[in-house]
Amino acid sequence: MEERERGRVAYDWWRALAETCYVPMPARAAQRLLEGVVGSLAVALDRETVDTAGAAAAGRMLVEAKLTDPAVVPVSARALTRLAQFCGRPDVEQRMAVLLACFGRGYGAALHQVQHRGRLSLEQGMDEARRAAEERFRVVFDNAAVAIAVGDTEGRLVDANRGLAEMVGVPVGRLRGASVYDFTHPDDRDEIRAVIYEKLVPAGEGTAKLQLRIQRTDGHCRWASFAITFVKGGGGQHDYLLAVGEDVTERHRMQDELHRQARHDLLTGLPNRRYLVEQLDASIAQAGGEEQVGLCFLDLDGFKHVNDRYGHGVGDRLLTAVALRLREGVREHRPLLARIGGDEFVALVPDADADRVTAVAAALLAALTDPILVGDTRVQVSASIGALVAPVAGAEAETLLDAADTALFRAKAAGKGRWVLRRHDLREGALALHLDPEQRG
């Protein structure tokens, strides 16, 4: 942050203070003080982990300068939010909330000490200082645009703001004293425990980031991103965890949709080649022993003639109809059916044997027996299939697809509307071809 920018933020801050409360020093001295505080807070905000101690120290500086009017903290919080403009980090809103919360706590603790020393009655001074500190902290805490929670090191919420209450769907009062596990998804609890209570808390410092699912009381589940900072207690206070979060459900939905689109064919809605290869790779990675995989590599017979005669619009609608026919035709066998390009489809049959794969191949051909109506045009479609049964352990996805493609070539050579089964042992190089016995010429 440049000197000119610090000066501008400090000047606007001083103007706001001067208009709302008593500033017990000359204007030039006040601006120099505030410029120094702005500089230290800018550094604290931009560190790898937000400098919570530096933010608290900045709050104490205002008290030491006798800026103790009740309006000081809310005015300061509004003025200092401009620091976010000069921080280039993507999580600047969360970092700013942490910074302002620690600034307010530092101010409150210092004011507590000042008032404590100035009271004849120790008990009265502590009560008033605590109440004043809480009021000032609440301005930042309750009005933050993000969810904020203060928790003990055992996982219980000491305090929470409206942002978190709205995220969870319960009043703030019900959150106080609750366990963090009460409103998080069961599948995320082990990660919370590992990251926060097995790493962050034992280290006694630092910030941990988590993306987890929030279980709302209305039954819906929302995704939230949290930055949890370990803050050492001062002035006799216990250590605590300061969590700042935001709802990222829509971001997750967009990412899921982009992930789905990247792995599905836009025309037919079927999985695409990328998804098919990923599933094959997963099967290979998990396979052991004598487990086999089956593939049925299907290519429509004479599809180019359909495009040439009726146009690509009819061709696209025909492919969509074919995809639906094939999906319904093999539903009972439950293979993964994918369109890998053009008029080529592949059915992946896990835990396969020759009988199961040939049953899938026969069902695929049977699904295309009747003509398909595309608009006012009835189109008779047939297909050729190269079927493969091969051990999956130690194989490669592309090698398996190439072997099925070779079987498809043999089926095409034997005539339309038939399948060829290829048994392929990738370890021994053994190869056997079987033509659909019902369709031999």
Do the Cβ atoms of 224 and 248 come closer than 8 Å? yes
User: Which architecture characterizes domain 263-439 according to CATH?
Assistant: 2-Layer Sandwich (3.30)
Domain ranges of the chain: 1-144, 146-256, 263-439
pLDDT at 340: 93
- The residue that leads in pLDDT, 123 or 93, is 93
pLDDT at 277: 95
Decide if pLDDT at 424 tops 70.
no
Helices (H), 92-199: 92-118, 122-143, 162-168, 172-175, 189-192
pLDDT in tens, 70-108: 888 888 888 888 888 887 888 888 888 888 888 888 888
pLDDT in tens, 328-366: 999 999 999 999 999 999 999 998 899 999 999 999 999
C-alpha span between 423 and 407 (Å, rounded): 10
User: Which architecture characterizes domain 146-256 according to CATH?
Assistant: 2-Layer Sandwich (3.30)
Do the Cβ atoms of 77 and 140 come closer than 8 Å? yes
Strands, E assignment, 270-333: 292-300
Q: Region 389-403: what's the mean pLDDT? A: 90
Q: Region 20-41: what's the mean pLDDT? A: 88
The length of the chain is: 441
C-alpha span between 189 and 441 (Å, rounded): 63
Neighbour tally for 205: CB within 10 Å: 13
pLDDT at 430: 41
Q: Region 426-440: what's the mean pLDDT? A: 49
Q: Which residues contact 305 (CB under 8 A, 6 or more apart)?
A: none
pLDDT in tens, 165-205: 888 888 888 888 888 888 889 999 999 889 888 889 899 89
C-alpha span between 140 and 168 (Å, rounded): 20
What is the H or E stretch that residue 275 is in? helix 273-286
Sheet holding 430-435, edge to edge: 336-341, 344-349, 292-300, 383-391, 419-425, 430-435
pLDDT in tens, 273-302: 999 999 999 998 888 778 899 999 999 998
Question: How would DSSP label each residue in 347-367?
Answer: EEESS--HHHHHHHHHHHHHT
Provide the token pair at 199: 């790493």
Provide the token pair at 309: 């005669």
